[in-house]
Every structure is written in C-alpha cells, then in structure tokens.
Amino acid sequence: MRLIIAEKPSLARAIAEALPGSPRRDDGALVVGETTVTWCLGHLLEQAPPDAYDPALKQWRLDQLPILPGRWKLMPRPKARGQLAVIRRLLKSAREVVHAGDPDREGQLLVQEVIEHLGWKGPVSRLLVSDLNRPAVQRALARLEDNGRFEPLYRAAQCRARADWLYGINLTRAWTLTGRQAGHDGVLSVGRVQTPVLGLVVRRDAEIRDFVPRPFFVLWADLAVAQGRLRAWWVPGEAHPLDDQGRLLVRKPAAALAERLPGAEGRLTALERRDKRQAAPLPYSLSALQVDAARRHGLSAKATLDICQRLYERHQLITYPRSDCRYLPEEHFASARSTLEGACRQDETLRGWLAGADLSRRSRAWDDRRVGAHHALAPTGKPADLARLEKAEADVFRLIARNVLAQFYPALSTREVKAAFCLLDETFRARGQEILDPGWKPLFTTRDEAPPLPPLTEGETCRVLEAGVEDRETRPPEPFTDASLIKAMMNIARYVEDPAVRRTLREHDGLGTEATRAGIIETLVERGYLIRQAKALRATRLGSALIASLPEAVGRPERTALWEQRLVAIAEQGDAPAPFLAALVEDLHGLLAAADAGRMREALHSARGEQAPAERSARGPRRGGSRRRTPAARRTRRP
C-alpha cells in the first residue's frame, strides 16, 4: 500500500479525487485502489512541557532557568490522539509513504515530524500541491520528489519551533516569577511575536498620550476663473514661521493677506495634467481581507478568520482561507466564467457586478510565478444563497467574490490636475481629479477623491471672490484597530530603523503569519494586555508594565528579522541549526539576567494604560504551583 499523508482533510480529499478510481471512505482515511490517503489536523504533535524532561520542572523557580532540553521531545495534542492512532495503524501496512504537507516551511515540519515520531524508516516521497484544482493535483502526483531534498526546510522549521519554545518558556517563567516578587499574582506571558505586537500598541498609546497639539493656520481663496469657480490654498514662503511640513504657525500673516484678497485679480501661472491608470486591487490574502473586513464591516481579525473557516469548511463557498498569497493559478482563468456564474447566481448584488464584468479580460492576478503554498482567496463556484448565511458571512463572501470579479473590469482611469495661481505676488495652489473611466471603482466603496477643477488654461486671469483663514491643530496618531494592527504586522518593516533589518522584514512577510495574526491579537486581549474600546485596541496598565519591565529588544520586531535571516540560511543554504540555537541560549542568559523585581515593581506602579476588565487575564500558578502548558508549547496551525 502507498500511504499519502496530507496536511489537512481538504487536501486529502483533493488528492483522492485526483487519483484514478473512486475513493472509498475508511476510518480516518480515503482509499483509492492501492493508495490510501490520510491526513493531519494541523499539528498533531507539540513540544513537550518542561516537566516531561524533569518532574521537578513542574514547579516554577528562577534558579532552574534557563530550561534547556538535552534531547527534544514531542507529545500528541490532546484532540489529535485519534488521528495519530489512525496514521500509526496505516503505517504498519505501508510500503511507501508520501509526504503531502503544504509546500512551505511549516508544512514540511507538520507532516515530517509525525512520520519520524511514529518511527517510519522506509522511503518517503514528497508531493507538492499549491492548487486544489484537480488537473493541478494530478500533475503534482505525476512528479513526486524525494523528501530528502527538503531536509534543510524541515531542519529550519524544527529549529524555529524549538527556538520559540526556549524563548517563550524561559522568559515567561522568569517574568512571571519576578512579577510575583513585585506583587503581581498572575502569568506574565512573553513570546517572540506576541510581545513585539504588544510593544507596537504600547508605544502608539504613549505617542497619543504624550502628544501636544500645535496650532497652525491655513488661508483659502475662492477664485472665479474663465469657466467656473474653484478653491485655492495659500503656500506661505520661508520668510514666515513654518513647521517641518510647511504649515504656518502664526495667524497674523494669513489674516493680513485674507483682508487684502477679496476682489484681487491674478493669473494661472502653472498648470499640470497627469493621466493615471490604476489596476483593480488583487484578490485577497487572509490578512488583506481582515483589514478590509474590519474597516468596512467592523469585524475583528479573529471574527473574519472564523467566518472564512465556516465559508470554507461548512459552506464550501471559498477556497482555503489561511493564505498569504494574492495571486491565482493561471489554470483558474479558464474556469473563471463557470466559477463566478455559479457563485453569483443567487445574490442580486453579485449578479449586478458579474453583469458588468468582461470575462475575457485577463489581469495580472493570474500568475503561477507568484502563487506559493496557497493561492488567493476565491469563490469555489458553488452557488451561494447569501440569504441563508449569517449577515457577517454574506458580507465577507461578497468581499472575496468582489475582488475576483474586479479582475474582469477595466483599470480606473483618472486625470489629476494641479494649478498654481499668483495673487498679490503670493502663490496659491489648487488640485482636482477627474474620472475618465471608473473601471472597477463602482464595485468598491472608497473615500471621496478631490473634486474636479473647471476647465483651465495656463495664463488665464482669475479674481478672488472670497477668502478666509482656518484655525487648525495638529492631530495625534490614531489608536490601533484590528485593521491597522494587522496591517502593521504585515508591514512591520516601517516600524524598524535599521535598513538591513527593514529589508529582511519586508522580504519575509512581516510579524506573524496569515494563520497566527488574528490569534495573536486575541491572545493579547485574553491575557489582559490589550483591551477593545469600540474599534480601538488600547494597551492596559498590565500590558504597558510588561513592556516597561522587559529589555527593550524583547518588545521590538528586530529579533524576528534576525531569526528569519538565520532560518533562511538553514533552509536555503544548508547552515547547521546548532549555532543558531547556541546563540539563542547565550542571548537567553543575558535576557534572564535582566529580570529584576525592582524594575518590575516600578513598572507596575508607574504604568499608564487602560484599566483591564476584572481579571480576564490567564492566572498563573500560585506560589509553589504549576502550570501545565505555556504559550510557547501551543501551535496555532489549523486544518
């Protein structure tokens, strides 16, 4: 028997249906001729807790840190024992095993660790499937590779898992125990990704809290021109007191000019027209969808992820949702008409969008070179009766379908016009935009652009009808929301000063992954570090105190970039994992030495932030107690 082990049930079904013959259901598997296809349910195994290495480590003590396993152990996740038993039974009858994890680092780890944990010593092939379309799966089945080629990828993923365990277990225990000494009775969880995310919010809140508004003043003039009327804005010269953005800091010069302007005549001295074409937004990755669903429908990142899972698993209306890709396989273009006609058939809004689509138009979205382990989110083609879905489910499905439909609309074509006027020897500017072809834009609710200017001719005269001065103030940055925090995690490089680190973060998809970002935010809320105020995410006093008590580097994203550089070298250049882990252990010794009860006490006393709801945060072990699992021991990958 040939045994194929897929990462998730949906992939197992796609593989079974692509094999010659009719699949027959078995316990935890599908049988097609001489091939049996079984599956994992995300991670079936997780890193063992410290007390699995030494029962004495069940009790949390500072003098035991750092905890450094000599020989690493994995243990079954509680809900995965049944499927693990299925795979163990099937391996006993197998002559060949095919690894069918996702074609990425985590997918390589997820299946291979099960194969090795269960003691399989026979040959292993590798099946790489990034598109569940039947012809694509059939082609992948025809070109199996030797799994040994992917050993560096496996070592890199295994190294990342162990490093996260070392980092999370040791720092969480150290700061929890230090927190107890300072009077805080609860777990203070520290993680390589969650803590820098918390740091983003803490620093943003501090910027808002410490912001001092500064007044500035703007002068406008309504002008009569040959073919209409427009509003222009004064550009004060450098002789006036300006801030670094050219804003006028005193009112007097603007007020004096405003008094002289009514009735004054001037001339249009410079006119610039620029035509622009903008292609439709690409189909969604999960994070991009979470950003738009939060902005347009007020959905949290986790709510959007949960909705997508239901649309995928229960309703079978969309493709695999936990994707970081915004491109579609070229093969999907040929079936796009039937797919979209099926998906849009039962919804008036979608039918209207479909009616305006030119399904022969091909956009840049179909590009096999840009498709990774998964492709962008898209409808499956199953008719969607949105009246039978929850409102939020229907809203999210329309977003997903809309972004695919938009690929069949023309580009948005606009003309930007910039005009400069000379009035009383002063420069005034006006800007407008004219839509030449709305293209895909009617499918989207977007912010209003600058209104069009009347037709203008360079050199024409103008006359001031009215003028006025507006008193304004600089504004603090906006607090993070689910949408903006997800976007910040996607584009974390902009929060880093070092150019090399910034480049690494840009190349490696930011902070967290599509599968983990929503969970990270919810974890920070559940642990009492963040709180939701309407749409805003604000740091609590506890969250602020934790960041203040930690070494600065722990609350910033640079460490993730440095880790990623080393992991890429392991995966792509064959570097050994041992030096990376040895450097981490050395780093841990320095971080643990910084755990200080006095600093913690001061941080807890002086922390500024929002008051958390009555102790929703996870309670840790009482003095001398134990905690069965730490955050680092959990995996968040789902089927």
> What is the rounded CA–CA span in Å between residue 101 and residue 106?
8
Residues 6+ apart with CB under 8 A from 72: 47, 48, 162
> What is the rounded CA–CA span in Å between residue 49 and residue 317?
39
Whether 482 and 521 have beta carbons less than 8 Å apart is answered as yes
> What is the rounded CA–CA span in Å between residue 557 and residue 3?
41
Burial class (CB in 10 A: 0-12, 13-18, 19+), 512: buried
Q: Is the peptide bond preceding residue 66 cis, with omega within 30 degrees of 0?
A: yes
Q: What is the CB neighbour count within 10 angstroms for residue 34? A: 10
> What is the rounded CA–CA span in Å between residue 115 and residue 94?
12
Q: What totals of helices (H) and strands (E) does the chain contain, helices first?
A: 20, 17
Residues 6+ apart with CB under 8 A from 539: 198, 201, 202, 205, 529, 530, 531, 547, 609, 610
Residue 279: helix, strand or coil by DSSP?
A: coil
Does residue 320 carry a catalytic annotation? yes
Among 354, 347, 376, 346, which Cα is nearest to 364's?
376
Taken as a whole, the chain contains a residue count of 639
Burial readout 119-136 (b: 16 or more C-beta within 10 A, e: otherwise) = ebeeebbbbbbbbbbeeb
The type of residue at 265 is E
Active site residue: 320, 409, 495, 529, which one?
Answer: 320
Tokens of 623: 């003095």
CA angle 304, 410, 412 (to 5 degrees): 75
Among 489, 321, 480, 302, which Cα is nearest to 392's?
302
* DSSP E strand stretches across 412-515: 412-423, 426-437, 461-473
Whether 557 and 508 have beta carbons less than 8 Å apart is answered as no
> What is the rounded CA–CA span in Å between residue 416 and residue 406?
23
> What is the rounded CA–CA span in Å between residue 138 and residue 130?
12
User: Which phi-psi region, left, alpha or beta, contains residue 28 (left: φ > 0; alpha: ψ -120 to 50)?
Assistant: left
Residue 218: helix, strand or coil by DSSP?
A: strand
Catalytic site residues?
320
